[in-house]
Amino acid sequence: MNKDTIRKAAILGVGFISHSHAEALRYCGIPICAVVDSSEKAAEDFARKWGIRTYGTEEELLFSDEISAVHICTPPHTHYPIIKKLLQAKKHVLCEKPLCLDPAEARELAGLAAASGLTCGINLNVRFHQTSDRMKSLVQDPSFGPLRLVHGQYLQQFHLLPCPFGWRYRPEIAGPMRAVTEIGTHWFDIIQYVTGTEITEVSSLFGNFHPQRILRDNVMYPDNSGKDERIEVSSEDAALITFRLSNGAIGSVTLSEVSHGYTNYLSYEITGDNMTAGWNSQEMNTLYFSRGNGQKTVECDGFGNGFNDSFRRLIQSFYFGSKDTGLPDCPTFEEGAKIVRLCGAVYESAQKNGGWVHV
């Protein structure tokens, strides 16, 4: 997409992340023409907050001729049918991850997007931290040496009990996984982006620490065998994943949504024959590296950025392109489809008690 094709944007879904979309669109000077949500009141509240004149529950509002791009901020099970209709209507699409739940549907959407010539992107904003480009240049420079080892973690505390019950616990809406698709997607993407390789084989173990829970006033608690309503949760609270990369390197990641004290902590470290380099999201403008047997060198970007800045940079890249902005390319539907396939392999391995599965 370029400036000449921009008209106005629309947003589908008004959950937490949609506000980040709206803020970034405003920052980039992209008018928001309409917002649609299954709740009339939620759509109205969102429209009032962001000064959007058109709102409602009908998807037809997204297909107005004045709308050029639609931001998909709804649960994963809704993505495939609405994106397919939007592409047929010649709308550019920016979709929240994951692209969809079924690898075959993801491949179809990637093919439709490529054939359409439209701009279609996935919100994988971690690669838009300024430090990510510095890490990429370090790791892919010949002086780093061949890649040998990649490891890291993505830890959050939002699903510690007690916590609210919502769509993420309903497999018909969110799919069979939780930690892998919610936070693992970001970790997989940044590793593949920085290293320029792909994860080709996985071995996974899942931890579901409270499969039986009680539900009281829409809040989940550990099952205490009381008289409250009981529910069963089948998705993972945490995952341990070992993998191989396309260049022969090995790696591992710990994903957890029940780690006390961590609001949002993504970290990774990459080792080559000559160097090791690492980064984490709690010190997002700092990276470190070591050469040979030398001491650790720490670089801090005094003009770095934060989460909102990474989101703005992604939106800029989506609308104006990497050529005009000097930013990384917005993650494509093809990249999104590969991550859907990767997540599927992770799930298959976990069902086989850690057996190795090719992606």
Helix and strand numbers (H, E) in the chain are 10, 19
Least confident of 16-25, 152-161, 278-287, 296-305: 296-305
Confidence of residue 6 (pLDDT cuts 50, 70, 90): low
Separation between Cα atoms, residue 169 and residue 212, nearest integer Å: 12
Q: Does the residue 164 lie in any domain?
A: yes
Which stretch, 6-10, 267-271, 326-330, has highest mean pLDDT? 267-271
**SS3 assignment, position 11:** strand
Confidence of residue 225 (pLDDT cuts 50, 70, 90): low
Same domain, 88 and 164: no
119-127: average pLDDT: 96
270-281: average pLDDT: 97
Backbone phi, psi, residue 115, to 5°: -70, -25
Report pLDDT for 224. Answer: 75
Give the tokens for residue 141.
């420079």
- Would you say residue 303 has pLDDT above 70? yes
- 84, 110, 125: which is the final residue of a domain? 125
Q: Does the residue 154 lie in any domain?
A: yes
Same domain, 167 and 76: no
pTM of the prediction?
0.94
Q: Does the residue 322 lie in any domain?
A: no
- Would you say residue 215 has pLDDT above 90? yes
Same domain, 150 and 27: no
Q: Does the residue 351 lie in any domain?
A: yes
Give the tokens for residue 68.
């050029």
Separation between Cα atoms, residue 151 and residue 270, nearest integer Å: 7
Same domain, 112 and 159: no
Same domain, 252 and 352: yes
Sign of the dihedral defined by the CA atoms of residues 109, 111, 116, 120, in that order: positive
Same domain, 8 and 21: yes
Separation between Cα atoms, residue 162 and residue 354, nearest integer Å: 29
Q: Does the residue 309 lie in any domain?
A: no
Q: Does the residue 104 lie in any domain?
A: yes
CA-closest candidate to residue 344, choices 106, 130, 115: 106
- For residue range 148-189, what is the model confidence (pLDDT) as tens digits? 999 999 999 999 999 999 999 999 999 999 999 999 999 999
Work out the burial of residue 93: count CB atoms within 10 Å of its CB; fewer than 13 is exposed, 13-18 middle, 19 or more buried: buried
Same domain, 157 and 296: yes
Number of domains in the chain: 2
The four Cα atoms 48, 49, 55, 57 give a dihedral, to 10 degrees, of: -110
238-265: average pLDDT: 98
Report pLDDT for 223. Answer: 85
Same domain, 91 and 199: no
- Domain span at residue 33? 3-125
- For residue range 44-75, what is the model confidence (pLDDT) as tens digits? 999 999 999 999 999 999 999 999 999 999 99
Separation between Cα atoms, residue 106 and residue 348, nearest integer Å: 17
List, in sequence order, every beta strand (DSSP E) within the chain: 8-12, 32-36, 54-56, 67-72, 92-96, 120-123, 147-155, 163-164, 199-207, 212-216, 219-222, 229-232, 238-245, 250-256, 265-272, 275-280, 286-291, 297-300, 357-358
Mean pLDDT rounded to a whole number for the chain: 95
Confidence of residue 306 (pLDDT cuts 50, 70, 90): confident
Same domain, 252 and 295: yes
Q: What CATH number does residue 22 fall under? A: 3.40.50.720
Contact 27, 21 (CB under 8 A): no
Q: Does the residue 244 lie in any domain?
A: yes
Report pLDDT for 292. Answer: 85
Q: Please name the amino acid found at residue 122.
A: I
